[in-house]
Amino acid sequence: MKISGKRSYMLSLESVVMTDIVLNMFIFFFISFSLLYTFEPFRAQKLDIKLPKAANTIPMGEEEQLSITLTNEGALYLGKESVTIKDLKSMISLKHKNNPRFSVILRADRLVRFKQVVNILDILSGLGITRLSIAAAPE
């Protein structure tokens, strides 16, 4: 006489499908929100720049200012938008013709190669910009 045992499984096909759906939704939303954060247009305002420290810093006034930012990765920004060296030169030249009394603030990450800073300073002096400040963090 053969006695056969009754085997019951705790796992059903519906729970496997539901787990698969939930995990796929998690992956979809994780990737979607990561991409939304990466390509956010207002992220240029929040550039992570580590300024060099200086003992004697002076707060800037309320006059019209133009900000040039150099990041550690070599990206160049004029205000909030990414530009190339050629675009930077033409945009600043146009701005200088409209208002010769505006000032320029150069914000360069402390790890930026000095050659890049000199290139920007050379462009500014070639255009006749005399009101130039280099941003630094207080010690």
- Using one digit for the tens of pLDDT, what is the confidence trace for 30-50? 988 888 777 665 554 556 677
Q: What is the mean pLDDT of the chain?
A: 81
What confidence category does residue 28 fall into, taking pLDDT thresholds of 50, 70 and 90?
Answer: very high
What residues contact residue 115 under an 8 Å CB cut-off, 6+ apart? none
Q: Specify the DSSP class assigned to residue 69.
A: E
Amino acid at 138: P
What pLDDT score does 100 carry?
A: 80
Mean pLDDT of 10-26: 82
Q: Is the pLDDT of residue 14 over 80?
A: no
118: left (phi over 0), alpha (psi -120 to 50) or beta: alpha
- Using a 10 angstrom Cβ sphere, with 0-12 exposed, 13-18 middle and 19 or more buried, the burial of residue 8 is exposed
Helix or strand holding residue 121 (H, E): helix 114-126
What residues contact residue 93 under an 8 Å CB cut-off, 6+ apart? 127
% of the chain surpassing 70 pLDDT:
78
